[in-house]
Amino acid sequence: MSSAAAFSYAPLLPTGPDQTEYRLVTDEGVDVVNGPGGRRFLTVEPAALTALTAEAMHDIAHFLRPAHLAQLRSIIDDPAASPNDRFVALDLLRNANIAAGGVLPMCQDTGTAIVMGKRGRHVLTDGADAEAISRGVYQAYTKLNLRYSQLAPLTMWDERNTGSNLPAQVELYAEDPDGHPDAYKFLFMAKGGGSANKSYLYQETKALLNPTRMMQFLEEKLRLIGTAACPPYHLAIVIGGTSAEYALKTAKYASAKYLDALPTQGSMSAHGFRDLELEAEVLELTRNFGIGAQFGGRYFCHDVRVVRLPRHGASCPVAIAVSCSADRQAVAKITPSGVWLERLETDPARFLPDVTDETLDAEEVVRVDLNRPMAEIRAELSKYPVKTRLSLTGPLVVARDIAHAKIAERLDAGEPMPQYLRDHAVYYAGPAKTPEGYASGSFGPTTAGRMDAYVEKFQAAGGSLVMLAKGNRSAQVTRSCGAHGGFYLGSIGGPAARLAQDCIKHVEVLEYPELGMEAVWKIQVEDFPAFIVVDDKGDDFFAEVTKPVLTVGRR
């Protein structure tokens, strides 16, 4: 054994100066008092924590960062972007503009509330910080048009919606933020199920740590993310970690741009750092996937963050996470000068281009009348290849996880397929609360893959022959559509507020009203955008773009 190295300490994630632009929320509930030894202490009342949290959860449900909006605009301005890239980017910008009105949230899945805080050693509270923060989450979700998605486990198998979107995930650390003992700093996030489900952990070995193998590995794994989490993504990759859970947590922070100020080189202090060269190479790799911003093109990702962490010699965790088109996070701070929250963009209209839909459209849009009999709808869809852009008008049935499970139980018991699933296309979705004066709340698509296990059974019974949702699907869905003459149509993931305002004209409950947003609904839509993803011939748009094509290593 060699002699021990001299003691040195560095934070695992040393971040640089805070460059955030803040706005004042309130100067109430904070005070500075004298303490022993001439020290000065910042006192923070529970009401200040509650008010900050409620304000933060409101803002991240309705506003985005200016940098994110600028990236969407850059897709529209990029001549190398595909028509579908530009169409998706424009729809997401329109959605942001509607959401900024403060009525309809940008996404129907308003997410799990996640709060991480760092409290300086000279900050005094009553000790029940997590409760005060949770009260702020409660106020936001119960007063705004946000969805309740949290399920309380009553037994191992039985669950019930909590009706408030609690619990929140609150993590608080005793740490002087940025070296300031009299400051309390926060990261607020709202993480929807779609993007949270695209967090991955791989336990690798030293063999991965060479340029050729790393790029081969990343091409294989990144393609698996697919489009279910609503790209374009902010992609984060963490290589190494003192534990598996630390790697995953770091990936989540990196996807939120929280670690952008990390060093860009390593040292014997063993701190984490960003690899800017690898970030650029991985971004270019994703440009060549062909997946694009959901339906073909270059913009699978807005950007990439790659963080290298120290590791145990016998372990090499790799964590991958994304922040989706609902890029919902904001930082905040409480200081002697008051309670401050990151200033998000309240005027996203300034990023909208002076172009019309016709300028962006290089391909014909096929208009489909959903009022026609199902056989006629399928015959019309059968005329066109996968990737064809559609505009849907007429009735849709809405059903997702719990409703599908209940209908499957009925089929297993020998009951017939409900007529509504025979007569109408089925939209996988779950709405947010409906504001007064609106036909619906934010009502974007759910991840299609969650219903894959039901498709063959339902189609064999004459139902679900035209399905509408977001993301890629399994080979069993493609085979079933080929065998039963079915179609899967992809909807743009992300613009839930725009769909509610512009496309959804009427909503009524058909069955299972006790399930809340998980009920079976019937909606009337007008000019609802979609693409043919899987057709009745067994073709799948995503089948080609998910195949690895990399044949050379890292330059």
- Tell me the pLDDT tens digit for each residue of 257-311: 999 999 999 999 999 999 999 999 999 999 999 999 988 899 999 999 999 999 9
220 three-class SS? helix
Query: Among residues 271, 360, 280, which one has the least CA distance to residue 84?
Result: 360
Per-residue model confidence (pLDDT) at position 167 = 98
Q: pLDDT band at residue 355, thresholds of 50, 70 and 90? A: low
- Tell me the pLDDT tens digit for each residue of 85-103: 999 999 999 999 999 999 9
Scored b (16 or more CB within 10 A) or e, 134-162 reads bbbbbbbbeebbbbbbbeeeeeeeeeebe
- Tell me the pLDDT tens digit for each residue of 17-57: 999 999 999 999 999 999 988 899 999 999 999 999 999 99
The amino acid that residue 366 corresponds to is V
Question: In the chain, which residues fall in CATH 3.20.130.10?
Answer: 363-534
Question: pLDDT exceeding 90 applies to what percent of the chain?
Answer: 87
Residue 546 has pLDDT above 70, yes or no: no
CA distance 511 to 482: 29
Query: Among residues 206, 226, 134, 215, which one has the least CA distance to residue 171?
Result: 134
Strand arrangement of the beta sheet that strand 22-26 belongs to? 22-26, 338-342, 329-335, 184-191, 112-119, 169-174
| Residues pairing with 116 in the sheet | 171, 187
Per-residue model confidence (pLDDT) at position 1 = 55
Q: At residue 367, what are phi and psi to the nearest 5 degrees?
A: -95, 130
Mean pLDDT of the chain: 93
- Tell me the pLDDT tens digit for each residue of 327-349: 999 999 999 999 999 999 999 99
What's the token pair of residue 27? 């100067």
Query: Among residues 52, 76, 65, 121, which one has the least CA distance to residue 332?
Result: 52
- Tell me the pLDDT tens digit for each residue of 389-410: 999 999 999 999 999 999 999 9
| Residues pairing with 32 in the sheet | 42
Q: How many CB atoms lie within 10 A of CB 333?
A: 23
Q: Which residues fall within 8 angstroms of residue 54, CB to CB, at 6 or more apart?
A: 136, 137, 139, 140
Instruction: Answer whether 522's CB lies under 8 Å from 510's CB.
Output: yes
310: left (phi over 0), alpha (psi -120 to 50) or beta: beta
Question: pLDDT exceeding 70 applies to what percent of the chain?
Answer: 96
Q: Which residues fall within 8 angstroms of residue 387, CB to CB, at 6 or more apart?
A: 84, 295, 296, 531, 532, 533, 541
Query: Among residues 306, 323, 304, which one has the least CA distance to residue 240?
Result: 306
Instruction: Answer whether 454's CB lies under 8 Å from 117's CB.
Output: no
- Tell me the pLDDT tens digit for each residue of 258-268: 999 999 999 99
Residue 363 has pLDDT above 90, yes or no: no
Per-residue model confidence (pLDDT) at position 331 = 98
- Tell me the pLDDT tens digit for each residue of 410-434: 999 999 999 999 999 999 998 899 9
- Tell me the pLDDT tens digit for each residue of 457-488: 999 999 999 999 998 899 999 999 999 999 99
Residue 554 has pLDDT above 60, yes or no: no
Residue 158 has pLDDT above 50, yes or no: yes
Per-residue model confidence (pLDDT) at position 541 = 87
Residue 357 has pLDDT above 50, yes or no: no
Residue 551 has pLDDT above 50, yes or no: no
CA distance 31 to 42: 6
Please state the rounded mean pLDDT for residues 177-199. Answer: 95
CA distance 272 to 333: 24
Cα-Cα-Cα-Cα torsion 480, 482, 483, 487, nearest 10 degrees, comes to 60
Per-residue model confidence (pLDDT) at position 385 = 94
Cα-Cα-Cα-Cα dihedral sign, residues 401, 404, 406, 412: negative
Instruction: Answer whether 233's CB lies under 8 Å from 532's CB.
Output: no
CA distance 456 to 429: 20
Q: Domain 363-534, what architecture?
A: Alpha-Beta Barrel (3.20)
What's the token pair of residue 240? 């190494």
Residue 254 has pLDDT above 60, yes or no: yes
Q: pLDDT band at residue 516, thresholds of 50, 70 and 90? A: confident
Per-residue model confidence (pLDDT) at position 552 = 38
